[in-house]
A = this chain, B = another copy of it.
Amino acid sequence: MVSVTDLGIDPAAGFTSVDEANATAFERLDAADPWVVDVAPARDVLPGYRDNLVLTSGAPMAWPDYTGGQREALIGGALFEGLADSRDDAIAGFDSGRIEVGACQDHAAVGSLAGIYTASMPVFVVENRTHGNRGFCNFYEGKEPRRLNYGCYDEGVHERLLHVNTVLAPVVGEAIRRRGGIALKPLIARALRMGDEVHSRNAAASILFNREIMPAILDMCDDRVPGVRETMLHLAENDYFFLRLSMAAAKASADAMVVPGSTLISAMAFSCRGFAVKLAGLGDTWFEGPPPIHQGKLFAGHTEDEITWMGGESPITETVGLGGFAQACALSLQEYQGGSPEVMIERNLEMYSITHGENSTYRIPQFGFRGTPTGIDARKVLQTGVLPVMDVGLAGRDGGQIGAGVIRAPRECFADALAEHDRRFGAR
């Protein structure tokens, strides 16, 4: 564990009470103003990036601790980036340290599922215009269930990733730059009125984003920029395109929550080993527990025992009051991830019992435009026993997506985080 003082957070400085710290952390989160301003290769924009680095989801671990699909995904990343010319070579590279493994969130990025980043991969650059920090996320690979971030690497995966690098990302990046950046918060707020919760459902947000870049796209058509048509047709067919923007926006927002002594959660993520949370008041320290508890719906032909954990940091969306915390906006998800409207509404309401406040921008039509439950308070999680709920995709043992569902964060993370909080800041 990295100590708070190592991170430049002085527990003595300005800390008076947990309640005050939480109020400040909530305000900072609520005031965040994420704009996507650019698309650029990870190596050029992620802080501390090195060419031999492959990033993955969850609290940082040593290479040998990555197993199953997450290990496969890391190997696939090394191969895709040309850091190794065979699987064995990649393994040897990781073993020797020639190829390094890193944690996405140590580089201001968030990873979808296994969340593999390599140097050449284009990322959305999202700027929090209120606080000046940046968050990053790479691109959705497309609808095909076999994807690198689901632990698969083959010719098809390679081609689709290359297509992102060479066609999609350059066009989308140019469109974003020509627009002078796009404010994501109003777009997300609007998508919440259109059946999205911008975690497992992004159908509205994706086309709203297309609409935002449209004027630039039309100019680029006039200017004969290559790849425009291909990109727009691809975007039109990919309802999950926006997820990566929602994740980067959430990361840029949640990272602004650092307030000594706060018990609000500033990140939730998991690896093949377990689920972990960060506290806004304890800087970059992760508190790890067992894997999440799940309730899912599997695609035809798959069975429960195939479900495997290979990482996931999209719960950054729940951290800022979206996803499972806005589930009542997206009742259509019942079809994709199971459950009923009644259960989804009940679950969403339950989250108000563990959050600090109500979002002033993200609102739920179902609840008369009440703000989404925002700012998970670890204290309330322990007091109520209500565990944070998240909408996620489910990965299969043999790689690929096999379903979707709802997960709950394990209680242990919150208990450990609060124990450490007590040690640093005194009894609450």
Contacts and interface: CB of A to CB of B under 8 A. Distances in A.
Interface string A223-250: 0000011001100100000000000000
Contact of A207 (B208, B332, B341, B366): B208
Interface stretch (A130-138, A210-218, A395-403): A210-218
A67 interface: no
A306 to B, nearest CB: 27
A53 to B, nearest CB: 37
25 contacts: A193-B332, A194-B194, A194-B195, A194-B203, A195-B195, A195-B204, A204-B204, A207-B211, A211-B236, A214-B232, A215-B229, A215-B233, A218-B228, A218-B229, A218-B232, A218-B233, A221-B221, A222-B229, A332-B365, A334-B368, A334-B369, A335-B369, A340-B368, A341-B365, A341-B368
A168 interface: no
A207 B331 CA distance: 20
The 4 closest A-B pairs by CB, nearest first: A221-B221, A331-B365, A193-B332, A194-B195
Contacts of A368: 334, 340-341
A367 interface: yes
A376 B366 CA distance: 27
Interface in A70-115: none
A331 B233 CA distance: 31
A116 to B, nearest CB: 30
Which of A204, A228, A233, A367 has most chain B Cβ within 10 Å?
Answer: A204
